[in-house]
Amino acid sequence: MKKYLLLVACSLTAMIGARGQEYRVKRSTGKLIVSLPAVVIEGYSGNEIVFSSKPKETEIDPKAVGLQTINTAGYLDNSGLGISVVEKGNTVEVNEVIENLDIKILVPKGMILSFVCNKVTAGAKVIFRNMDNEIEIDAYDNILLLDHVTGPLTARSLYGPIDVVFTGPVKGPVSIATIYGAIDVAIPVATKANMQLKSIHSPIMTSPDLKIEMEKHEPEPVGSHATSIAGKLNGGGTDLWLNSKFGKIYLRKTQ
């Protein structure tokens, strides 16, 4: 009986430790495709993709030792963190197996990052930090926060807002679009860019410190609420396109 209790205690300790562990994939090139409703992704100068999670106070099932969780989509928790991490050729695919996770990913700066989440997430936050990687985003209603990124960047969202802080020099092309969400972008004053900003039903607001040389075009039809701006910043350069159908667009300088 004592041996059994000791075995259970050891199993519980091992499982508690696993909930806070890291999972690593030795790869620094190619593409990382992340399909998690909420995640923090940071760029770093390393040669491994590092996945980690914060330990959670949950009920432990000693009968689950040695088994893998599987979900209705067929994804297996092969990481011990509640996510599926699978290498396919030159890509690494990451999918959710267990819901309500707190995952952080460190991504080598030589990799292309693709974030894809086309399901209802009730406004879950996705945070990208300190990345000079190429980033592709296709989201539904996630809150997208990108801090200290350089581009290239392609971001699409149906309902969720997109906030981006660029650090210079901005590498293009940059294309950000939403249907219902607002777009808030900060760029360095010295950025050289070809600008196209458009909102069908909401205003566009820009910092007076950003001296955009406006191109002349035909005015919008009478009764139209659309605002469309095309021009060059500091003589032109990187293509920067911001488009929202119903949301406001804010273009400000990086502090």
> Structural domain boundaries of the chain?
22-38+46-54+67-107, 117-254
**Residue 106 structure tokens:** 């460190």
pLDDT digits 0-9 by tens, 117-168 = 988 887 899 999 999 999 999 999 999 999 999 999 999 999 999 999 999 8
What's the pLDDT score for residue 7?
Answer: 38
Sign of the dihedral through C-alpha 152, 87, 101, 117: positive
**Chain segment 175-194, per-residue pLDDT in tens:** 999 999 999 999 999 999 99
Distance CA 52, CA 80 (A): 10
Let me know: does 216 contact 152? Beta carbons within 8 Å: no
| Residue 189: closest CA among 217, 164, 204, 170 | 170
Give pLDDT, residue 87: 97
Instruction: Give the SS3 label for residue 123.
Output: coil
Distance CA 29, CA 49 (A): 10
- pLDDT class for 237, splitting at 50, 70, 90? very high
In this predicted model, what pLDDT tens digit does every residue of 94-117 receive, in sequence order? 999 998 899 999 999 999 999 999
Beta bridge partners of 128: 41, 146
45: tokens are: 């100068």
- Rounded to whole angstroms, the maximal C-alpha distance in the chain is 86
Decide if 85 contacts 22 (C-beta within 8 A): no
What pLDDT does 63 receive?
87
Q: What are phi and psi of 36, to 5 degrees?
A: -120, 135
DSSP secondary structure code for residue 251 in this structure: E
Answer yes or no: are the C-beta atoms of 80 and 16 closer than 8 Å. no
Where does the pLDDT of residue 9 fall: very low under 50, low under 70, confident under 90, or very high at 90 and above?
very low
pLDDT tens digits for range 191-207: 999 999 999 888 999 99
Taking the CA atoms of residue 178, residue 179, residue 181 and residue 187 in that order, the dihedral angle to the nearest 10 degrees is: 30
DSSP assignment letter at 62 = G
**pLDDT category of residue 249 using cuts at 50, 70 and 90:** very high
pTM of the model: 0.86
- What is the per-residue pLDDT for 227? 80
